[in-house]
Structure formats: C-alpha cells, structure tokens
C-alpha cells in the first residue's frame, strides 16, 4: 500500500517536474526566437491577408470615381526622392515631402504595413476622398501595392498647428496673434461641421488635436489624419465602437467610460473644445511639465476666472477686440468640454457662437470637469483608464 503510494507520488513528481521543465524550455525558446516568430507571423499575416488585400481592392473598385489617383510604389519612391526628406512621424507611419511630376509639392504618408488590417488606410481614403472643403486636407492620390501603402496629400507649408501653440510661459509674445488663432479655431469648427453634417454619411474624426491640424501658407487650417475616423449613416446618432480611440488630453470621457453616454459626433466636439483651450492658453491643458508641485488643470482655472468675472491673464492680447475674442473662444470651449455629451453644442452651433457676440453667450453649466490624473496621462494607456471625475 505504502509502496504503491510512493510509486504514484514518485511518478507524479517526475511528471510535474517534466511539465515545468518543458514550459520553461518553451518560454526560453520563445524568448530567443521572438524576432523570427514575429517575422513569421508577419509573413503569415500577409499570406492570410490576401483576403484583406482583395477587400481593399474591391473597396477601391467600388469607389471608382471617388477614389483619387493611384500611384505605384516606384512612383512614390521617385516623387519623394527615395524618402529623403522626412517631415514627421506618427503612430501610423512616417510622412515625407515629395514633388509630383507637374511640380506641385505633396506630403506622402507611408503607412506601417503591419498595423491593423488596412483599416486606417481605408478610413483615410474613404473619408477624405468624399470630402471637399477648404478646412479639410485634400487627398491627391494613394499607393496600394501589397504591403506598401501610402497616402498623398497636398503639401501644407506651415506644418501642424502643434508647432505654433505651445510656447515658453515667460514669453509675452505669441507665435500666432489672436486674429489668426481665432481664424484657425473658426476654420476647424467649419471643417468639423462639414464632416458631421454630411449628406447621407457623416464622418466622425475621433482624433482632433493640434498635431492633426495642418496650416497652409495663409494659416488656413486643414483637418487631417483620418486614420481613426468612422463613417456612419446620418440616421444613427450613437456609434458603436470597440475599444477606445483617440489621444489622452483630447479624448471625450464617454469614449473611455461608457456609462457617461453614447459615443457620437459630440465626442469630436469635446476634443475640439480641449484643443481650442490649448490654443488660448498656449500650453497643454494637462501640464506634465517640470513643476510637479503646482499641477493645475487649466480648464478648471479658466472656468473659475470666468465665473468670478476676472481677467483671464492670457498672453499677447493687444486690444479690447482681441480680449472679447479670447473670452468668446474660452466660453465656447467650456461649452464643448461638458462631461454630459447632450450639454455640448453641435459644431454648427459652435460656428454660430464663435461668429456671434460675446454678450449673447450664456455661461456654461458648472461642469464636473473631467481631469485625468498625472499617472493616467503618463501611462497613456487608454484601455486601462480609470474613470475619475473631480469637482470644480
Ligand atoms: C509605375 O507606373 C509608371 C507610370 O504609370 C510606369 O511607367 C511604371 O512601369 C510602373 N512601375 C511598376 C513597377 O509597375
Ligand atoms: C498637379 O497635379 C495634381 C493632381 O494630379 C493637381 O491636384 C495639382 O493641382 C497639379 N498642380 C499644378 C501646379 O498643376
Ligand atoms: C508660413 O508659410 C509661408 C509660406 O511658405 C512662409 O512664408 C512663412 O514663413 C510661414 N510662417 C511660419 C511662421 O513658418
């Protein structure tokens, strides 16, 4: 009896030791060959994605007259002089400066082949080629050749808005004066209104932020980067969405915490408000700067100022007219960043408010402003976001 027991135990120990050794061995192998495995997966990905490839081809074919000019990869290489002049880098790939054969300048965005299933590519082609508005970038062409995908836009000489709005706080002059800031804010509002209005389909951008606003030679703003955009039927006001998309600091609370309301065009309105507040303040709303002790949340601060009818102390204001303009931009933004989506104005209302008189604007309800804590901002992991709200 005892012998049988010890025999079984012996076998059992052997077995479990074997299992542990095997697992460890497998893990070690996985670790050492991770590069190879990834590459293999990538190859497999492209083989099994012949279907995906066909889908995109079918989509482009259906698009027919909508789809802009198609270029092959060697043409893309030639127009960018073998990707010599890099303009920038984003999550979806790199952007290079290029020249078309007729001499006009273009920005060529080369998408990472591996990310996603070509969704961003389709999103961009489908969204932008449907649009024609002075405040939306125009797509001049695209390239789709196996895993080589590129989007070709008109070149914007002044680059992205981001470059112009954040500056040293000691500086008393702004890079962009108030008349231009106002013009830019109004232009983006008009562009967004156009995207949201649509005829049969409306376009929700889901990634409005200074980085994605381009400026032409006259500082006319153009909304760009439709990689996260969603086309939806005009009828459906609430969009179903898997996973959060957007950028911390601009992302609407309902996208992260679904119990706050449905995701809709109002989510873009929120991002727009956050962006305009940054333009007004010349700084990030959530300042992750050097001074860790005085972390103040700029929108909170502005709301209190307006409520107490105090000076906003914004830099670069030259006269009464600019003062009024700045106050108007702040008021409108505070409406836009309301936590409850139904309290936010539509983009056409935003345009109307910006163009109207300051006196006709009502004070937004005292909001529970949504302020992500520093740890949330630092982690930049949208998925693991805590839903925190703080009272003003
Ligand atoms: C790319 O397109 C150009 C012009 O349409 C053509 O001359 C060239 O042969 C094409 N290259 C490849 C590799 O298909
Ligand atoms: C060059 O061609 C592109 C499209 O092929 C067109 O949009 C652009 O206006 C042209 N530029 C000039 C200077 O003709
Ligand atoms: C904006 O673009 C125009 C035209 O290329 C250029 O002359 C101007 O210097 C640019 N402005 C800034 C501030 O970069």
Token match 């706050």: residue?
260
Q: Which of 67-81, 225-239, 346-360 has the lowest mean pLDDT?
A: 225-239
CATH number at residue 243: 1.10.510.10
Higher-pLDDT residue of 25 and 227 is 227
With respect to residue 135, please indicate whether it lies within any of the assigned structural domains: yes
pLDDT of residue 356: 94
Q: Measured from the CA of 72, which atom of ligand 1 is nearest?
A: 1
Provide φ and ψ at 305, rounded to 5°. Answer: -60, -50
CA distances from 116 to 49, 92, 122, 243 (A): 11, 10, 11, 13
380 shares a domain with 308: yes
Number of helices followed by number of strands (H, E) in the chain: 13, 10
Considering the domain architecture, whether residues 309 and 354 belong to the same structural domain is answered as yes
364, 228: one domain: yes
Instruction: Say yes or no: 127 and 179 in one domain.
Output: no
Residues 166 and 265 in one domain: yes
- Angle between helix 347-355 and helix 320-336 axes, rounded to 10 deg: 160
Last residue of a domain, one of 104, 129, 154: 154
Q: Left (φ > 0), alpha (ψ -120 to 50) or beta: where does 246 sit?
A: left
Q: Where is the domain boundary, 138, 154, 170? A: 154
Residues 296 and 148 in one domain: no
Q: Determine, yes or no, domain membership for 130.
A: yes
Choose the weakest-confidence range: 86-95, 284-293, 320-329: 284-293
Residue ranges around ligand 2 (CB below 6 Å): 69, 100, 102-104, 140
Cα–Cα dist 349/327, whole Å: 17
Establish if 344 belongs to a structural domain. Answer: yes
Q: Which residues are annotated as a binding site for ATP?
A: 109
Residue with the nearest Cα to atom 13 of ligand 1?
74
Does the beta carbon of 379 lie inside 6 Å of ligand 3? no
Answer whether residue 137 is part of any domain: yes
* Largest Cα–Cα separation, the chain: 100
**Token digits of residue 7:** 């025999």
**Rounded CA separation 69/61 (Å):** 12
Q: What is the mean pLDDT of residues 147-175?
A: 80
Name the burial class of residue 191, with classes exposed (0-12), middle (13-18) and buried (19+) by CB atoms within 10 angstroms of its CB: buried
C-beta of 320 in contact with ligand 3 (< 6 A): no
Residue that finishes a domain, picked among 154, 171, 191: 154
Indicate whether 147 and 206 sit together in one domain. no
Taking the centre of ligand 2 as the mean of its atom positions, its distance from the CA of residue 53, in whole angstroms, is 29
Q: What domain range is 85 assigned to?
A: 66-154
- At residue 78, does pLDDT exceed 60? yes
Q: Which atom of ligand 3 is nearest to the CA of 175?
A: 13
Instruction: Enter the tokens of residue 70.
Output: 């198609």
Q: Is the pLDDT of residue 263 over 70?
A: yes
CATH number at residue 114: 3.30.200.20
Q: Does residue 139 lie in a domain region?
A: yes
Separation CA 159–CA 215 (nearest Å) = 6
Residue 103 dihedral angles phi and psi, to the nearest 5°: 95, -5
* 217 located within any domain: yes
Looking at the fold, whether 181 and 262 belong to one and the same domain comes out as yes
What is the domain count for the chain?
2
| Residue 107 and residue 175 in one domain | no
Q: Binding-site residues, please?
A: 109
Verify that 139 and 244 share a domain, yes or no. Answer: no
- Radius of gyration, CA atoms only, the chain: 26
220 lines ligand 3 (CB under 6 A): no
Cα 142 to ligand 1 centre (Å): 14
Residues 133 and 282 in one domain: no
Nearest CA to ligand 3 atom 11: 158
In the annotation, is 207 catalytic? yes
Predicted confidence (pLDDT) at residue 187 exceeds the cutoff of 50: yes
Of the listed ranges 137-141, 162-166, 199-203, 318-322, the least confidently predicted one is 199-203
Asked if residue 18 belongs to a domain, the reply is no
| pLDDT tops 80 at residue 341 | yes
Return mean pLDDT, the chain: 78
Lowest mean pLDDT among 97-111, 247-261, 309-323: 247-261
Q: Are residues 150 and 208 in the same domain?
A: no
pLDDT tens for 313-329 read: 888 888 899 999 999 99
Q: What is the pTM of this model?
A: 0.77
Whether residue 325 is contained in a domain is answered as yes
């Amino acid at each position: 009896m005892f012998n049988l027991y010890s025999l079984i135990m012996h076998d059992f120990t052997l077995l479990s030791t074997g299992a542990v050794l095997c697992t460890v061995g497998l893990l070690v192998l996985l670790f050492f060959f991770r590069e190879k495995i990834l590459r293999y997966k990538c190859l497999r990905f492209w083989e099994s994605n012949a279907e995906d490839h066909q889908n995109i081809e079918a989509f482009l074919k259906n698009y027919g007259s909508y789809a802009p000019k198609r270029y092959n990869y060697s043409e893309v290489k030639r127009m960018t002089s073998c990707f010599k002049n890099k303009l920038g880098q984003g999550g979806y790939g790199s952007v290079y400066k290029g020249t078309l054969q007729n001499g006009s300048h273009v920005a060529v965005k080369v998408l990472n082949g591996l990310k996603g299933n070509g969704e961003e590519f389709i999103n961009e082609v489908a969204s932008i080629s449907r649009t024609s508005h002075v405040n939306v970038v125009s797509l001049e062409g695209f390239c789709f050749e196996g895993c080589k995908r590129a989007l070709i836009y008109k070149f914007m000489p002044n680059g992205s808005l981001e470059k112009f709005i954040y500056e040293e706080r000691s500086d008393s002059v702004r890079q962009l004066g108030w008349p231009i800031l106002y013009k830019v804010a109004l232009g983006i509002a008009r562009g967004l209104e156009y995207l949201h209005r649509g005829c049969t389909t409306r376009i929700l951008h889901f990634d409005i932020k200074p980085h994605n606003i381009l400026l032409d030679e006259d500082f006319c703003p153009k909304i760009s980067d439709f990689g996260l955009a969603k086309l939806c039927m005009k009828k459906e006001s609430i969009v179903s969405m898997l996973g959060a998309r957007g950028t911390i600091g601009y992302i609407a609370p309902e996208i992260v915490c679904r119990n706050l309301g449905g995701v809709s065009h109002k989510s873009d309105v929120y991002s727009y408000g956050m962006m305009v507040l940054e333009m007004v303040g010349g700084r990030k709303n959530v300042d992750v700067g050097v001074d860790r002790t005085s972390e103040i949340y700029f929108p909170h601060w502005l709301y209190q100022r307006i409520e107490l009818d105090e000076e906003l102390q914004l830099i670069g204001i030259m006269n009464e007219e600019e003062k009024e303009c700045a106050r108007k931009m702040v008021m409108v933004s505070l409406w836009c960043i309301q936590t409850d989506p139904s309290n936010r104005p539509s983009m056409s209302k935003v345009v109307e408010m910006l163009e109207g008189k300051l006196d006709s604007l009502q004070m937004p309800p005292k909001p529970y402003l949504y302020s992500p804590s520093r740890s949330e901002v630092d982690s930049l992991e949208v998925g693991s976001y805590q839903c925190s709200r703080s009272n003003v």
